[in-house]
Chain A
Amino acid sequence: METMAGRTRAAMAALSQESETVTAQALAGYLGLKTHEERSPMYVALSDMKSRGEIQDAGVRGVYRFIALKKKPFLRTVMWRILRARKSVTVDDLMELAGASQFYAREWLGMLVKREIVKKMKGGRYRLLEDVVEEPVNTDRSERLKAWRKNKKTTLAALDRASDAIDVARAALKNC
């Protein structure tokens, strides 16, 4: 299900193509929001968009000007583009040009080595073996995160059970 922020942004983009400024009234009409209660999340979304610089006040209250912001690419996408452009990179190159941390750059390159997309050379240089064009997705990382979350959930459940057992034992001791 799309969020109110997403719907508001899409509506703003659509309406701003028809006229330079967009009123909150027109926006609510476009989104089919009738009551004040229904419109309330839209006002919150508008306020957030204003603080992010996506919209500007047009000088009159409730009238906005939409500024389409460029979506910032993911760090891994930037690193992939740099690797494709340079054909061989070091961790330092990725840190400098992509702004990645040393840990993340190393981990990402390690994933590419594992998949035989790059080869580690002498002097910490990684050479692109095969330009697969499409950006490889780091599933290792997401699987590890998934496993970590699952582990956390099980541990928390075990802790809850232990805590309940302690409460029962305490109550039993009090009654003795």
Chain B
Amino acid sequence: MEKITLTPVFVKTKNVRNFQVMMDALDLNDEGCFGMVFGQAGRGKSRTCQWYAAHNDCVYLEIMTVWKTSDLDFLKAFCRAAGIVSPPKRKGAAFSAIVDKLIKDPKPVFIDEVEKMKAGFIDILKDFVGVTGQKFILLGEEELVAYMQRDRRIWSRTFQQLEYQPIEIADILLYAKEATGLKLSIDVASLVHQACNGDWRLAKRALLGFVHYANTNETITITVKVAKMIIKESLIGK
């Protein structure tokens, strides 16, 4: 029997498709605006944005906690992410450099884990949106909604919002088929779905367990009994 492997593939789940629709909708706007993507950790928000940004020439920046006390550090990192080779060493100059770059070479900007920054930080982003007329898509967990709603001027500029939903049984079936070639039954997929609680990483761990089992036992069938055993071992840890 041919060895089964877990080939890394990017599966266009329902969340990814919704994300693409959101990006298309944002493209219809001529003025600068915010987009917002939020949801629990492990649902694939950042991965989707990295995938989209890499294929569509966008700016992607993940916020670091150490920038909380220094806007300049953030602006310098933003400069580099936007493609400025030597970022200016002063706040104003760094801001202007980014504005010039985004006006000259317009592209959407993704800022990940925005809620890590202090409340006033969003005003800097609002200024960027206003001056450059670009789309800024902010990513974060559920707290992001409250963070954005705090300021009416920010909220009114938030044209699109997307909540990343837990993964569905169909997503697990699709991923298993595309990444491993294993055709899981609905019962097995629903067991994985229940155990992983909407988290992609856990679903992948369970699938890896299935692949190991299939290779060891030279089979392509994962029964409910086997699935329960693997899920118990790899996800619940008992």
Query: A82-136: which residues lie under 8 A (CB-CB) from chain B?
Result: 82, 84-86, 92-93, 95-99, 131, 133-134
Q: Is the C-beta of A45 less than 8 angstroms from some C-beta in chain B?
A: no
| B78-86, B90-98, B152-160, B217-225 - interface stretch | B78-86
Query: B28-72: which residues lie under 8 A (CB-CB) from chain A?
Result: 47, 50-51, 53-57, 60, 62
Known: A81-B53, A85-B53, A85-B54. A133 touches B10 (CB 8 A): no
Q: Is the C-beta of B7 less than 8 angstroms from some C-beta in chain A?
A: yes
Q: Which residues on the A side are within 8 Å of B9 (C-beta)? A: 95-96
Partner of A95 from the list B8, B53, B55, B62 (CB cut-off 8 Å) is B8
Q: Is the C-beta of A24 less than 8 angstroms from some C-beta in chain B?
A: no
- The number of chain B residues with a CB under 8 A from chain A is 19
Are the C-beta atoms of A131 and B8 separated by less than 8 Å? no
Are the C-beta atoms of A131 and B80 separated by less than 8 Å? yes
> Roughly how many angstroms separate A118 CA and B47 CA in the complex, as a whole number?
21
Partner of B54 from the list A92, A95, A98, A131 (CB cut-off 8 Å) is A98
Q: Is the C-beta of A73 less than 8 angstroms from some C-beta in chain B?
A: yes
Partner of A85 from the list B10, B50, B83, B85 (CB cut-off 8 Å) is B50
Are the C-beta atoms of A73 and B55 separated by less than 8 Å? yes
> Roughly how many angstroms separate A81 CA and B55 CA in the complex, as a whole number?
8
Are the C-beta atoms of A92 and B8 separated by less than 8 Å? yes
Q: What would be 14 A-B contacts, judged by CB atoms less than 8 Å apart?
A: A70-B56, A73-B55, A73-B57, A78-B54, A81-B54, A82-B50, A82-B54, A84-B81, A85-B53, A85-B62, A96-B10, A131-B80, A133-B83, A133-B85
**Which A residues form the contact surface with B (CB < 8 A)?**
70, 73, 78-79, 81-82, 84-86, 92-93, 95-99, 131, 133-134
